[in-house]
Amino acid sequence: MKPTTSTLPPHLPAPSPALSADDQEALTDLYIRGTPANTLRAYERDLLYITAWKTARFGTALDWPESAATALAFILDHARDLNDASKTDVARETAEALISQGLRKSLACPAPSTLDRRIASWLAFHRMKNLASPFDSPQVKQARAKARRAAARPPAPKSQHPITRDILEQLLATCRGSRRDCRDRAMLMLGWASGGRRRSEITGLMREDASCKEFDKTGLVWLSLLGTKTTGKGETPRLVLKGRAAQALVHWIEVGQIKDGPLFQPISKADRVLARRLSPDAITQIVKHRLKLAGLPEGFASAHGLRSGFLTQAALDGAPIQAAMRLSLHRSVAQAQKYYDDVDIVENPAADLLG
């Protein structure tokens, strides 16, 4: 029996009369395997938000395809600060309903990137159902462009401070001799020295992804990432760990007796290794914990500080940006250049003209 439209979530391809049940199942499996796990989770969150917004705003469920009028209302509701709106304003009432459900933080105007992401998800849902998108109408497209321009703001850094080498050394100094300490030391070093890895990339590493065959001879450990935000599966070049970072990882593998499964695993209160994968949020908690132990404010940096810190340190040390990007795997030079610009402008002699 073929799946019906109602049995499949909108982020998976809609059933087609031209496909057999086996072909439909294969197509669905292809979309699941070909879509990053983080994207699937984002789709689910955005679908929950959009559905709740439509119910609170119009008292009805989502339509497929959705009307251009509904799409325009969605943009208008998210293009202004509703703190200044009348309490009987329908957009404010809708926002308050979403806040009460824990789906919206405040009445303030959401960041343009948040609106863009939710619209992109909505567009993707229409594509999966092979339907025309309401966001493609001229009026809606123009309103979206105006909303983006009206709410433009400087991008907020993902980490308040970069975790540069000196900060990393302070975090590593808190890692003493327990299994948890060994794991955290190896994780922090790998996350920083291999190019500033993202949380999902660190937790996604399996034991077989870290090759230690050359370690005794050359002191090198080779890392194979399945895929990253900027590279697809099978397209990610091997990365290398050298020196202290390679030593810390090999030590963790020996102490944790990691023979297979996830490379980094949870540690119990009794300091035993638990054979399961860490969640990406665990990296955030580990960084917060080490910051606190090092005497730094908890909000001093986030896990993304490992990535920004690697690039900032590369700029401070004068490493060519192309060399840093070969490890960070940034696809855009302009994106990586931002970290270099912050360093270069301080060293710019034109900044000292007044003395």
Residues 75 and 124 in one domain: yes
What mean pLDDT do residues 60-79 have? 93
pLDDT of 23: 84
Domain identity same for 97 and 212: no
DSSP structure string for 186-220: HHHHHHHHTT---HHHHHT-BGGGEE-TTHHHH--
Identify the CATH number of the domain in which residue 171 sits: 1.10.443.10
218 CB-near residues (< 8 Å, 6+ apart): none
Domain match, 120 and 193 both = no
How many Å separate Cα 262 from the centre of its chain? 19
CA distance 329 to 133: 33
- pLDDT at position 95: 96
> What's the pLDDT score for residue 196?
92
In a domain, 217, yes or no: yes
Report the half-sphere exposure of 315 (CA within 13 A, side-chain side): 20
Q: Which of 96-100, 230-234, 269-273, 293-297 has the lowest average pLDDT? A: 230-234
Dmax of the chain from CA atoms? 79
Averaged pLDDT of the chain: 87
- Residue 315, pLDDT score: 87
Residue 350: the pLDDT is 64
- Which residue matches tokens 């709410």? 151
| pLDDT above 70: residue 280 | yes
Say if residue 217's pLDDT is above 50: yes
* Residue 61 shares a structural domain with residue 113: yes
50 pLDDT higher than 80: yes
Give yes or no: residues 106 and 211 share one domain: no
- Whether residues 146 and 174 share a domain: the answer is no
Domain count, the chain: 2
Residues 252 and 134 grouped into a single domain: no
Residue 12 or 323, more confident: 323
Structural domain includes residue 316:
yes
The rounded percent of the chain whose pLDDT value lies above 70 is 87
Domain harbouring 114, CATH code:
1.10.150
Residues 97 and 58 in one domain: yes
Same domain, 127 and 251: no
Instruction: For residue 325, tell me if it sits in a domain.
Output: yes
Domain that holds residue 265: 165-349
Higher-confidence residue of 20 and 266: namely 266
Residue pair 146/137 in contact (Cβ under 8 Å)? The answer is no
Task: Give the Cα separation of 291 and 307 in Å (integer).
Answer: 16
132 lies in the same domain as 232: no
**Model pLDDT, residue 6:** 46
* 170 and 127 part of one domain: no
Write the pLDDT tens digit of every residue in 83-135.
Answer: 989 999 999 999 999 999 999 999 998 888 889 999 999 998 898 888 889 99
Question: Does the structure show a pLDDT above 80 at 343?
Answer: no
pLDDT-derived band at 151 (thresholds 50, 70, 90) equals: confident
Q: For residue range 51-65, list pLDDT tens digits in order.
A: 999 999 999 999 989
What pLDDT does 1 receive?
39
Question: Which stretch, 26-35, 170-179, 296-305, 309-318, has highest mean pLDDT?
Answer: 170-179
How remote is the C-alpha of 56 from its chain's centroid?
A: 29
Give yes or no: residues 121 and 183 share one domain. Answer: no
In a domain? residue 91 = yes
Asked if residue 315 belongs to a domain, the reply is: yes
Q: Is residue 22 part of a domain?
A: no
Q: Is residue 16 part of a domain?
A: no
Separation of alpha carbons 198 and 205, rounded Å? 11
275 is a domain residue: yes
What confidence score (pLDDT) does residue 3 get? 43
3-class SS of residue 8: coil
The whole model's pTM is what?
0.65
User: What's the confidence (pLDDT) of residue 150?
Assistant: 81
Mean pLDDT of 311-334: 88
Sign of CA dihedral 309, 315, 321, 324: negative
pLDDT value at 2 more than 70:
no
| Predicted pLDDT at 158 | 72
Q: So what's the pLDDT on residue 127?
A: 87
Query: Which residue, 150, 182, 197, sits at the end of a domain?
Result: 150
Lowest mean pLDDT: which of 106-115, 151-160, 264-273? Answer: 151-160
Domain edge (last residue) among 117, 150, 183: 150
